[in-house]
Structure 1
Amino acid sequence: MSNRKVLVLSNMYPTEKAKAFGIFVKNQVVALQKAGLDVDVIAVTNPSMKKQAVLIKYLVWLLKVLIHAVVRGRRYDVVHVHYVFPTGILGLLYRKLWKTRFIVTAHGGDIERMAHKSKRIWQWTKYILQEADHVIAVGPKLYEEIHEQFGVAKEKISIINMGVNREVFQPMNKQEARKLCGIANDVIPVLYVGNMIEQKGLLELVDAFAMLKQEYPNANLYMIGQKKDGVFYQRLLQRMEQSGAQDIHMLDAMNQSELAIWMSAAEVFVLPSHLEGFGLVALEAMSCHTPVVGSDVGGLSYLLSGGAGILVEPRNKESLYEGIKTVLSDAKMREQLIQKGELRAQENDGKRIVERVIQLYSPPEGVRDA
């Protein structure tokens, strides 16, 4: 199996300039390579969402893949695409031309948002999912949606998340981590990591933090991520001003080893998303032994279940405030969250996860790659 040649296609892939853009895809590629597979990648590496930039980056990517499929496509045993539409269309090309085994990973936004943008995109999404040799859903809710809404047989879908890199995301001494982050000893750090977009529940987070500040004057909110939507970012700044809450710090996206230090430094990690395919960033915080408060949506419902985190009502600032307050005020609860979060991180260790992906790259017994 190790000599199988794999092509990964993704509409998100990180660079030095955009370190967090699709980092989970790169992590899986590196894990596959470490396992001995020969993996090539053709991906979009520009995170800009400006209309002209989007058009140009997708056109360049399309042309690159078209030429590659015709000239070098025959070399691959497997084409693995991330995000159903539009990436899946390009993956289908290899399947049609060379009968390459075709694997699709659905990450959440492609099913819950993109597929509903128009009837045509919905039909394309359905076609790609049904044509794939196998579909990977990153969470159980997504698995059900793919089966029920798009008519994909359950035996053709696996629930496999992107896994946490436990070599990077590991606990370190809180005082040491805070020193490295420049956080004073008397500060209570509350952390959010992710894109600065409305669907991540950041307006509610600012409101909940303003309420928290009344009881915990030393609380500081650190929001780390890419400002993907300029219009929303202005609204967020406005909300911060209206709330009157001091000590909210906005930081640019960082590489994973830096993020791991911030996660270790935090007293509580918050992910108040409106939608979330899996919520890998929450798992990374758990892996650093930081309690997590997250919305009861998508993959987070599973990830934080059974006392591994605190689930709160989405789009509800009061519920979010109560969740954060519970972590800060109850030392026993905090300890339990850390212990159960550690077990959840062990279950979802990237090394174990990638073995399951590799198994899917081989056709089932008695089925030829055809």
Structure 2
Amino acid sequence: MKILVLSNMYPTESHPTYGIFVRNQVELLRENGIDVDVAAITDPGKGKAAALKKYGGWALETARRLIGGRKSYTVTHAHYAFPTGLLSLIGKRLFGVPYVVTVHGGDLDQMARKSAGIRRMTERILKEAAHVVTVGRRLYEEVTDGYGVPASRVSVLSMGVDTEVFRLRDREAVRQELGIPAGEKAVLFVGNIIRAKGTRELVDAAAILDREGEPVTVYLVGSTKDAGYADELKAHIAGLGLDRVRFVGTEPQERLSKWMNACDVLALPSYHEGFGLVALEGMASGIRVVGSGVGGLSVLLGDDRGIPVPPKDADALAGGIREALDPESRAFDGESIRREVARHSKDQILRELLEIYEDAAAGR
């Protein structure tokens, strides 16, 4: 079996978290003896000129690999329906290579809604795929009901959590390593520092707790790839008079797990979320999770695994954080959390993914 993985996001040393979930899956396949080639965009930079350069180069690299390996590739696996899936669709039509496409959320929630043309192309990509993987149940329903893809060719399969990395650690030791003072109430955010991740509402929630005499320190871990918004957010924080918001920057996964062990609450107030892998990684690391009840997050936080709150609601978010900080809170069921983490283990993901590839190659 030989797979060509295509993705418009893939990490490098300069951008270690950019599409890290795709690389993790690639490495899982390689560790288990699967021959995997990758053609991906590794530069998160914005702007029309940068976009033309990187997307053009990516398309040429994909074409080169398909032309050279069209007889050896079992399937191509596209991450994100559009634009990535378009390359797989072309590969199928020109070279007869079947493809699998993973829908992550933004491709349907944002990209497909930009224009009627992109939506039609997204529908064609999904319908011609040998199999469509969705990272959450809501996306499964949208693909089957909204795009008319037969349920027999659609699966719900997350990107999986690496429990060898995301695990319980010595809290005092990692707090000392990261410079978090003893007794400090620490709220962690992990993700891109962008508006749609609810970062403004998070600092507003911190301000609310501050006024109520329950101060917290907010640690923002992630890329400030939108420099304009990051400056706007810092100005907003200054206007609120908050002095306990820390911009940490990006962190490798091993260190990210340490942050999750060191902090008290993981806050994920996204406006939309296909799955919410960070929440699952937090659960595996033992941190209490508060997040928006949207998309895949609403499922992950269900059954007392976390505290769901409405998106774009700083007051509700402050209330969720306050409850999560309460050591007597009964909002968290440890057994339910353990079962959910196990359900998304690397071994389970690998078994299901290989079965999807085999069926796609056999035309089933």
Q: TM-score, normalised by structure 2?
A: 0.96
Give the CA deviation at 1:86.
0.6
Q: Within 2, Cα distance between the matches of 1:18 and 1:338?
A: 34
Question: 2:346 is matched with which residue?
Answer: 350
Q: How does 1:133-148 map to 2 (within 5 A)?
A: 133-148=130-145
Does the C-alpha gap of structure 1 residues 220 and 266 become closer, same or farther in structure 2, counting only changes over 3 Å?
A: same
Residue 254, structure 1, aligned to residue 251, structure 2? yes
Q: Which runs of 5+ in 2 are unaligned?
A: none
Identity of aligned residues (%): 40
Give the CA deviation at 1:337.
4.4
> Paired residues, what number?
364
Residues 75-96 of structure 1, C-alpha deviations (whole Å, 9 max, x = no match): 1011111000011111112212
Q: Which amino acid aligns with 2:101?
A: V
Q: Which amino acid aligns with 2:55?
A: Y
**Structure 1 stretch 228-237 or stretch 155-164: which is displaced more?**
228-237
Aligned match of 2:233 in 231, 236, 239? 236
Q: Within 2, Cα distance between the matches of 1:279 and 1:16?
A: 23
SS in 1 for 2:5: strand
SS in 1 for 2:78: strand
Q: How does 1:326-345 map to 2 (within 5 A)?
A: 326-333=323-330, 336-345=332-341
Residues 202-240 of structure 1, C-alpha deviations (whole Å, 9 max, x = no match): 111110011112345552100011012122112211221
| CA contact 1:290–1:338 (8 Å) conserved in 2 | no
Q: Within 2, Cα distance between the matches of 1:21 and 1:216?
A: 37
Q: How does 1:10-25 map to 2 (within 5 A)?
A: 10-25=7-22
Give the CA deviation at 1:198.
0.8
**Structure 1 stretch 255-264 or stretch 235-244: which is displaced more?**
235-244
Residues 251-289 of structure 1, C-alpha deviations (whole Å, 9 max, x = no match): 111110010000000101000000000000111010000
| CA contact 1:190–1:267 (8 Å) conserved in 2 | yes
Q: Within 1, Cα distance between the matches of 2:294 and 2:271?
A: 7
Aligned match of 1:75 in 69, 72, 75? 72
Residues 174-196 of structure 1, C-alpha deviations (whole Å, 9 max, x = no match): 11110111111121110000001
Q: Which amino acid aligns with 1:211?
A: I
Q: Within 2, Cα distance between the matches of 1:107 and 1:122?
A: 15
Does the C-alpha gap of structure 1 residues 339 and 184 become closer, same or farther in structure 2, counting only changes over 3 Å?
A: farther
Q: Within 2, Cα distance between the matches of 1:192 and 1:305?
A: 20
SS in 2 for 1:75: coil
Question: 1:290 is matched with which residue?
Answer: 287
Residues 273-322 of structure 1, C-alpha deviations (whole Å, 9 max, x = no match): 00000000111010000010000000001000000000001110111000
Q: Within 2, Cα distance between the matches of 1:233 and 1:45?
A: 21
Does the C-alpha gap of structure 1 residues 183 and 368 become closer, same or farther in structure 2, counting only changes over 3 Å?
A: closer
Does the C-alpha gap of structure 1 residues 45 and 36 become closer, same or farther in structure 2, counting only changes over 3 Å?
A: same
Q: Which runs of 5+ in 1 are unaligned?
A: none
Q: Which amino acid aligns with 1:355?
A: R
